[in-house]
């Protein structure tokens, strides 16, 4: 797909108007998942296992059902049997069958006339467990003698002889590692670990499901992708997808964690059992942390070789990841992208997907990439120090560019890693003076982005204003971006475009807002649908003027005659054509459906300055710079917002956030007081530089920007701490107690 749109002289693209949903959000008028209220609505509460691994011997709901106001109790017995593969995994995760597989695993659910009654009833559901040995650590779960969580869960890829908890195995690479390491002047080997962290969206999961005895249902839900909700819920319940219509609410963050189902099928099953009354379920924060997807934790070994002038000759990485009690840790992506920043002839990756007694992991912003970046970019930093080469310079000497063969196979097209490194080097932050106990860290990162199934419609209203219907929920300002792209295509004002997020009954299938795809894919769809409308608008003008449509051009929101034989006609504006469209052929609309493949990855480079308190081990982030390639920034404010959000989440992952499990496998910090995400006072202003290397696969050059930004912060912080203290921290999070302990050991050494 070629770059077939405008590349300069934009009137709308690159401007920063207010977002169309802004007023609703600041006045409280926006309706989120929990804001739905309908007559006769019941409230659902989920009964969750207090054990990390336990056989469910018996569930007795007699006392719960006897409580006044209780309308239904469901267990796994209320769901169809015989599901296979991922559908079975989803069903089993939504509602445990024979065993509870992690602390917080759903084992039953209750619907009642109030949430208080439902909570009381949930406590009256008597579950008899036979507690089993558990394992929550990835390395422990792979060892001989570790409790087997689910025999037979491994797929074709796992070689014989590995523990049954290893469920997928990856082996990728190319070249001759022995030759590459023999050519190196410096070889460094290190092991690293990262903990599981939660997406930490502010809005907990919430939905309302209604399903009658005829198997037809409706759902209102906070989600990144309502077609995914429809497909997964239908699979779990054993109904056809078209029996269910799903409407997305506004969404208070997702970051990948809202691309799957948790309690949504439960609300539908409860509704059906309660005679078709709608059932609303709103998770508490504790439920969110205990039972919805965090990302995977990782244990990693890296070996890299380099010549004395800083050229990487060979790289090898082994990545062990646990993603909870089901297959799906994103180690497949890790093994593709670990060394993707660099031009390396000899490279090899080994990956293990391991199941443990933890909640089923869900996608989290660049799933699988930040962990590997922590290990690889930390190793490169150490090598640069040993060789006496500037950290940006060493990356420039190895950076991929247009035409470089990637470490995962195909050659890159135009990409912006070199440009991001050069912009970082030129930024004032990179030369700001540092004081005592202060240090600077640099790291680069990559995310390959995504296209995905996409369907959009554009309709002209009677007054010439435009309605855009897309199927990707707006998480980061995408309605503004769609409106800008439509306005640019039509040559009309931004304010004359309204963008709606349609329900599953109004458009063809749309994948979620995931993979950094919304602005790229729904944007492309919007432009293509607008172009179809413009063709029809030109035809109406041609008909009116009695000329061939080829003699009509569309400029600045109007059809104009063009060419020597077009004749002399006054331009017809979109408003003038629209006012007459009912009598000139009927409504005018355009449509796009497809799976665009011209997405292109985004590279970024982060520079961070920190100060370490030698008495407490506390890290203060002094300055933070994000430089990233956006291809073309449609709405620069929201591009910067993505950069800053990724950095903020990465800072939390690097310094504070972690899932802490006891020996009993129970999560010990399932509230935000104990699970510490960064707040505004923890962070400096995060500076941004938008690099624009246009993506030839989008009409305006867009490439997704949402995920790359969380990849560099983990190693950038570690490298800054190394710069400030001389300590190489190899395990995340780098909390004050860990740094203080390392400082003391360093002093004693």
Partner 1 sequence: MVEINLWSGLRRFADGKDRVEVEGKTVGEILDDLVRIHPGLGPVIKAGVAVSVDGEILPNARHAAVTEDSEVFLLQRLRGG
Residue whose entry in the numeric block shows the structure tokens 């169809």: 80
Taking CA 562 as the corner, what is the angle to CA 558 and CA 563, rounded to the nearest 5 degrees? Answer: 180
CA distance linking residue 689 with residue 701, whole number of Å: 17
Gap between the Cα atoms of 169 and 335, Å rounded: 10
What is the closest distance, in whole angstroms, from the C-beta atom of residue 306 to partner 1 in the complex? 22
The candidate with the shortest Cα–Cα distance to 425, out of 445, 412, 444, 400, is 444
Helix (H, G, I), strand (E, B) or coil at 741: helix
Pairing of β 558-561 and β 552-555: antiparallel
Residues written for the chain? 749
| Minimal distance, residue 307 CB to partner 1, in Å | 24
The Cα–Cα gap between 451 and 593 comes to 12
Helical segments of 434-522, H only: 478-490
Q: How far is the CB of 406 from partner 1 (least distance, A)?
A: 9
Secondary structure letter of residue 430 according to DSSP: G
Q: Which is nearer to partner 1, 402 or 462 (CB)?
A: 402
Task: Quote the least distance from Cβ 201 to partner 1, whole Å.
Answer: 11
Least Cβ distance, residue 731 to partner 1 (angstroms)? 23
What is the nearest approach in angstroms of partner 1 to the Cβ of residue 150?
A: 18
- CB nearer partner 1, residue 174 or residue 311: 174
**Would the CA dihedral through 22, 16, 650, 406 be positive or negative?**
positive
Binding site for partner 1 (CB under 8 A): 155-157, 169-174, 199, 255-257, 259, 330, 332-333, 335-336, 348, 363-367, 408-413, 447-452, 514-517, 595, 597-599, 697, 707
- Smallest gap from Cβ 273 to partner 1, in A, equals 34
Q: Which is nearer to partner 1, 253 or 276 (CB)?
A: 253
Reduce the DSSP state of residue 119 to 3 states and report it.
Answer: helix
Q: Find out whether 514 and 225 touch, Cβ atoms under 8 Å.
A: yes
CB atoms within 10 A of CB 186: 15
Q: How far is CA 480 from CA 16, 417, 483, 561, in A?
A: 9, 27, 5, 32
The nearest distance, CB 289 to partner 1, in angstroms, is: 17
Task: Please state the closest distance from residue 171 (CB atom) to partner 1, in A.
Answer: 3
Q: Which is nearer to partner 1, 91 or 334 (CB)?
A: 334
CB of 352 to partner 1, least distance (A): 12
Residue 91 and residue 330 in contact, taking contact as beta carbons nearer than 8 Å:
no
Pick the closer one to partner 1 by CB: 598 or 678.
Answer: 598
Identify the residue whose tokens are 């995920």.
707
CA-to-CA separations, 459 to 417, 468, 505, in angstroms, rounded: 39, 7, 17
Question: Least distance from C-beta 706 to partner 1, angstroms?
Answer: 8
> Would you give the distance in Å from CA 107 to the centre of its chain?
28
Which lies closer to partner 1 via its Cβ, residue 259 or residue 465?
259
CB nearer partner 1, residue 594 or residue 636: 594
Bond from prior residue into 30 cis (ω within 30 degrees of 0): no
If 0-12 CB within 10 Å is exposed, 13-18 middle and 19+ buried, where does residue 651 land? buried
Nearer Cβ to partner 1 (488/707): 707
Distance CA 398, CA 403 (A): 13
Minimum CB separation of residue 450 from partner 1 in Å reads 5
* Shortest reach from residue 301's CB to partner 1, in Å: 17
- Give one DSSP letter per residue of 591-641, joined into a string: EEEE-------EEEEEEEEEEE-TTT-PEEEEEEEEEEE-SS-SSHHHHHH
- Closest to 660 (Cα-Cα) out of 137, 49, 203: 137
3-state secondary structure 723-737: HHHCCCCCECCCCHH
Q: How far apart are CA 372 and CA 296, in angstroms?
A: 12
- Please state the closest distance from residue 674 (CB atom) to partner 1, in A: 24
Instruction: Identify any residues that bridge with 206 across adjacent strands, giving them in sequence order.
Output: 282
Q: Which is nearer to partner 1, 201 or 342 (CB)?
A: 201
C-beta separation of 343 from 313 below 8 A: no
Nearer of residues 256 and 715 to partner 1, judged by Cβ: 256
- In the complex with partner 1, which residue's Cβ is closer, 24 or 171? 171
Question: How large is the greatest C-alpha to C-alpha distance in the chain, in angstroms?
Answer: 91
Is the Cβ of residue 391 or residue 596 nearer to partner 1 in the bound state? 596
Our CB check for partner 1 shows the closer of 78 and 593 to be: 593
């Amino acid at each position: 797909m070629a770059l077939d749109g405008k590349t300069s002289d934009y009137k709308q693209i690159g401007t920063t108007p207010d977002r169309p949903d802004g007023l609703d959000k600041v006045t409280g008028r926006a309706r989120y998942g929990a804001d739905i209220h309908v007559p006769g609505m019941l409230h659902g509460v989920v009964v969750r296992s207090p054990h990390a691994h336990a056989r469910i011997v018996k569930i007795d709901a007699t006392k719960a059902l006897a409580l006044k106001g209780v309308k239904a109790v469901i267990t796994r017995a209320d769901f169809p049997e015989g599901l296979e593969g991922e559908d079975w995994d989803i069903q089993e995760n939504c509602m445990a069958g024979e065993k509870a597989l992690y602390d917080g695993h759903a084992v039953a659910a209750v619907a009642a006339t109030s949430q208080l009654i439902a909570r009381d009833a949930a406590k009256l559901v008597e579950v008899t467990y036979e507690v089993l040995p558990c394992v929550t650590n990835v390395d422990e779960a792979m060892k001989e003698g570790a409790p087997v969580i689910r025999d037979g869960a491994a797929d074709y890829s796992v070689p014989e002889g590995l523990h049954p908890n290893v469920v997928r195995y990856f082996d990728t690479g190319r070249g001759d590692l022995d030759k590459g390491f023999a050519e190196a002047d410096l070889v460094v080997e290190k092991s690293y670990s990262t903990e599981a962290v939660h997406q930490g969206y502010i809005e907990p999961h919430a939905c309302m499901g209604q399903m009658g005895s005829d198997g037809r249902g409706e759902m209102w839900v906070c989600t990144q992708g309502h077609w995914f909700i429809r497909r997964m819920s239908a699979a779990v319940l054993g109904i056809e997808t078209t029996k269910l219509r799903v409407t997305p609410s506004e969404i208070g963050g997702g970051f990948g964690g809202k691309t799957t189902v948790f309690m949504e099928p439960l609300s539908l099953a409860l509704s059906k059992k309660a005679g078709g009354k709608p059932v609303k379920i709103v998770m508490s924060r504790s439920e969110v942390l205990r039972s919805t997807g965090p990302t995977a934790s990782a244990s990693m070994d890296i070996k890299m070789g380099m010549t004395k002038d800083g050229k990487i000759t060979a790289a090898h990485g082994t990545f062990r990841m646990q993603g909870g009690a089901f297959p799906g840790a994103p180690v497949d992506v890790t093994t593709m992208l670990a060394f993707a920043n660099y031009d390396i002839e000899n490279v090899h990756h080994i990956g293990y997907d391991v199941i443990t007694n933890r909640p089923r992991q869900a996608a989290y912003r660049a799933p699988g990439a930040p962990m590997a970046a922590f290990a690889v970019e930390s190793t490169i930093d150490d090598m640069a120090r040993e060789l006496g080469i500037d950290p940006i310079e060493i990356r420039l000497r190895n950076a991929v560019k247009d035409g470089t063969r990637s470490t995962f196979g195909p050659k890159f097209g135009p990409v912006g890693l070199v440009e991001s490194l050069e912009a970082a080097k030129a930024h004032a932050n990179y030369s700001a003076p540092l004081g005592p106990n202060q240090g600077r860290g640099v790291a680069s990162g990559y995310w390959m982005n995504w296209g995905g199934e996409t369907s959009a419609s554009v309709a002209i209203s009677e007054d010439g204003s435009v309605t855009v219907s897309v199927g990707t929920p707006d998480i980061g300002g995408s309605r503004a971006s769609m409106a800008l792209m439509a306005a640019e295509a039509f040559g009309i004002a931004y304010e004359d475009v309204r963008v709606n997020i349609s329900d599953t009954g109004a458009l063809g299938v749309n994948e979620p807002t995931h993979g950094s795809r919304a602005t790229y894919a729904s944007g492309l769809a919007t432009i293509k649908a607008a172009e179809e409308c413009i063709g029809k608008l030109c035809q109406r003008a041609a008909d009116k003027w009695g000329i061939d449509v080829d003699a009509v051009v569309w400029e600045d929101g109007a059809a104009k005659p063009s060419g020597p034989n077009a004749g002399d006609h006054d331009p017809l504006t979109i408003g003038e054509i629209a006012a007459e469209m009912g009598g000139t052929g009927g409504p005018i609309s355009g449509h796009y459906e497809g799976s665009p493949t011209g997405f292109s990855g985004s590279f970024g480079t982060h520079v961070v300055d920190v100060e370490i308190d030698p008495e407490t081990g506390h890290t203060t982030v002094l300055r933070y710079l994000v430089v990233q390639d956006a291809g073309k920034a449609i709405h620069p404010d929201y591009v910067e917002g993505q950069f800053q959000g990724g950095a903020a989440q990465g800072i939390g992952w690097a310094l504070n956030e972690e899932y802490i499990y006891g020996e009993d496998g129970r999560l010990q910090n399932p509230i935000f007081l104990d699970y510490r995400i960064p707040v505004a006072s923890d962070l400096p202003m995060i500076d941004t530089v938008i690099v624009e290397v246009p993506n030839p696969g989008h009409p305006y050059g867009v490439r997704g920007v949402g995920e790359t930004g969380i990849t560099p912060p983990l190693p950038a912080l570690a490298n800054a701490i190394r710069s400030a203290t001389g300590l190489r921290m190899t395990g995340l999070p780098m909390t004050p107690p860990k740094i203080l302990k390392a400082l003391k050991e360093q002093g004693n050494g």
